[in-house]
Amino acid sequence: MDMSAAPLSSGQPSGKYANPPAEELHLLKEDFVHPELLEDAEPLEENERRAGRNQSAMDLYLKDPALRRPLLDNEKQRTLFARLSEARTTYSQEITGHPVVLVYLHSLYERISRDEITAEHFSFYAKREAEEVEQMCQLRFLAFLERSSDFRMLYQEALEIVTSIQDATAARTGHANEWHARYRGVLARSSEFVGDLALVRGHFEALSELVKHHVASLRAGENAFVQDSIGALDPSLGLSSDDLEARALRIRRAEQDIERYRTHAIENGLRFVIHVAARYQNQGMDLLDLIQEGNLGLMRAVDRFDHRRGASFPTFAIFWIRKGIEEGLRDKGRIIRLPSDRHYLVGKIKKMTAHLTQVLRREPSAEELAKELHVSPKLVERLLTLAKPPISLHSPLLSEDEGRENELADILADPEARLPSDLVDRRYLAKVLPEMLRALPQDLRETLEMRFGLNGKEELTLKEIGAIIGHAKQAIHVRQLQALKKLRHAAKIKLLQGLEEL
- Which pLDDT belongs to residue 256? 92
- Tell me which of 352 and 112 has the higher pLDDT: 352
> Would the pLDDT of 499 be above 70?
no
Rounded to 5°, angle at Cα 167 from 161 and 169: 100
Q: Does one domain contain both 105 and 57?
A: no
d(CA 3, CA 7): 9
d(CA 476, CA 484): 12
d(CA 321, CA 314): 10
Residues 124-169 pLDDT 10s: 544 444 444 556 667 777 777 777 777 788 888 888 888 888 777 7
| Mean pLDDT value of segment 204-209 | 82
Beta bridge partners of 398: 405
Contact between 351 and 383 under an 8 Å Cβ cutoff? The reply is no
Q: Does one domain contain both 151 and 230?
A: yes
> Would the pLDDT of 39 be above 90?
no
d(CA 235, CA 224): 7
Q: Does one domain contain both 223 and 136?
A: yes
Q: What b/e sequence results for 65-88 when a residue is b if at least 16 CB atoms lie within 10 Å of its CB, and e otherwise?
A: eebeebebeeeebbebbebbbebb
The CATH number that applies at residue 490 is: 1.10.10.10
Give the lowest-confidence range in 111-120, 324-333, 420-429, 446-455: 420-429
> What confidence tier does 328 reach under pLDDT thresholds 50, 70, 90?
confident
> Would the pLDDT of 27 be above 70?
no
Contact between 334 and 284 under an 8 Å Cβ cutoff? The reply is yes
Contact between 101 and 190 under an 8 Å Cβ cutoff? The reply is yes
> Would the pLDDT of 474 be above 60?
yes
Q: Does one domain contain both 483 and 369?
A: no
Q: Is residue 73 situated within a structural domain?
A: no
Cβ count within 10 A of residue 420: 8
- By C-alpha distance, which of 97, 103, 105, 88 is closest to 247? 97
- Tell me which of 389 and 80 has the higher pLDDT: 80
End position of a domain, from candidates 238, 272, 296: 238
Contact between 145 and 139 under an 8 Å Cβ cutoff? The reply is no
- Portion of the chain with pLDDT greater than 90, in percent: 6
Q: Is residue 278 situated within a structural domain?
A: no
Q: Does one domain contain both 222 and 107?
A: yes
> Would the pLDDT of 36 be above 50?
no
| Number of compact structural domains in the chain | 4
Q: Does one domain contain both 383 and 468?
A: no
Q: Is residue 72 situated within a structural domain?
A: no
Q: Does one domain contain both 124 and 220?
A: yes
- Which pLDDT belongs to residue 398? 65
Q: Does one domain contain both 36 and 150?
A: no
- Which pLDDT belongs to residue 178? 82
The CATH number that applies at residue 376 is: 1.10.10
Q: Does one domain contain both 104 and 169?
A: yes
- Tell me which of 39 and 262 has the higher pLDDT: 262
d(CA 328, CA 334): 10
- Which pLDDT belongs to residue 268? 85
Rounded to 5°, angle at Cα 377 from 376 and 379: 70
Percentage helix, strand, coil for the chain under 3-state DSSP, each rounded to 5: 75, 0, 25
d(CA 374, CA 353): 14
End position of a domain, from candidates 238, 255, 290: 238
Residues 174-199 pLDDT 10s: 677 788 888 888 888 888 777 666 66
Residues 243-289 pLDDT 10s: 888 888 998 999 999 999 999 999 888 888 888 888 888 877 888 88
- Which pLDDT belongs to residue 275? 83
d(CA 181, CA 178): 5
Q: Is residue 193 situated within a structural domain?
A: yes
Largest Cα–Cα separation, the chain? 127
- By C-alpha distance, which of 238, 241, 215 is closest to 157? 238
Query: Exposed, middle or buried by CB within 10 Å (0-12, 13-18, 19+), for 4?
Result: exposed
Q: Is residue 405 situated within a structural domain?
A: no
Q: Does one domain contain both 451 and 353?
A: no
Domain containing 477 equals: 433-501
> What confidence tier does 26 reach under pLDDT thresholds 50, 70, 90?
very low
- Which pLDDT belongs to residue 420? 72
Rounded to 5°, angle at Cα 320 from 317 and 314: 10
Q: Is residue 491 situated within a structural domain?
A: yes
End position of a domain, from candidates 388, 405, 425: 388
Q: Does one domain contain both 198 and 151?
A: yes
| Mean pLDDT value of segment 349-370 | 88
> Would the pLDDT of 401 be above 70?
no
Q: Does one domain contain both 359 and 441?
A: no
Q: Is residue 181 situated within a structural domain?
A: yes
Supply the mean pLDDT for the chain: 75
Q: Is residue 343 situated within a structural domain?
A: yes
- Which pLDDT belongs to residue 21? 47
> Would the pLDDT of 67 be above 70?
no
d(CA 77, CA 73): 6
> What confidence tier does 74 reach under pLDDT thresholds 50, 70, 90?
confident
> What confidence tier does 11 reach under pLDDT thresholds 50, 70, 90?
very low
- Which pLDDT belongs to residue 258? 92
